[in-house]
Amino acid sequence: MNKKYQDKVTSNEIGLEIGLVLSRFFFNTEHLHFGYWPDDLSVNIDNLKKAQDLHSDEILSSIPDGVKTILDVGSGSGGLAEKLVENGYNVECLSPSDYLSDAIEEKLKNNVIVNRSTFERFEPQKKYDLILFSE
């Protein structure tokens, strides 16, 4: 593989793009996580979207009072960030994937700031009340 192409495309990036396309097409969801499966929810593909929504609900319900600013690390395509914004939080997303960062910006427009970086390379310019690492 020539060096120029190798620098532009990674298998991780391709995998994330395929995952998002499949999630949208087959499961009517944009979440890329496995979800939260309580004991009373049958683990099967028909319940995936419900489990993913329960995952977001569980995170939202555990946010302490007084939190205003949140850094969402590994934001996927912005599904959780969207719910956080809808609940009144000021959200910044952290994503190393250009494809997923584009999806977040397309979905949430100017409602979030997207930092295109890995967590290890991220140099925050401010403090956050809460940093989320889900999954």
User: Per residue in 83-135, pLDDT tens?
Assistant: 999 999 999 999 998 888 999 999 999 999 999 999 999 999 999 999 999 86
Burial class of residue 17, CB neighbours in 10 A (0-12, 13-18, 19+): middle
Q: Which range has highest mean pLDDT (12-26, 28-42, 64-78)?
A: 64-78
Angle between helices 98-108 and 11-27 (to 10 degrees): 40
Report the distance separating Cα 40 and Cα 89, nearest Å: 30
- How many residues make up the chain in this entry? 135
Position 5 scores a pLDDT of 45
CA angle 38/44/45 to nearest 5° reads: 120
Report the distance separating Cα 116 and Cα 93, nearest Å: 8
pTM of the predicted protein model: 0.76
Report the distance separating Cα 135 and Cα 133, nearest Å: 6
CA distances from 116 to 8, 93, 111 (A): 15, 8, 16
Nearest to residue 113, comparing CAs of 123, 121, 101?
Answer: 101
Residue scoring higher pLDDT (15 or 93): 93
The count of other CB atoms within 10 Å of the CB of residue 29 is: 19
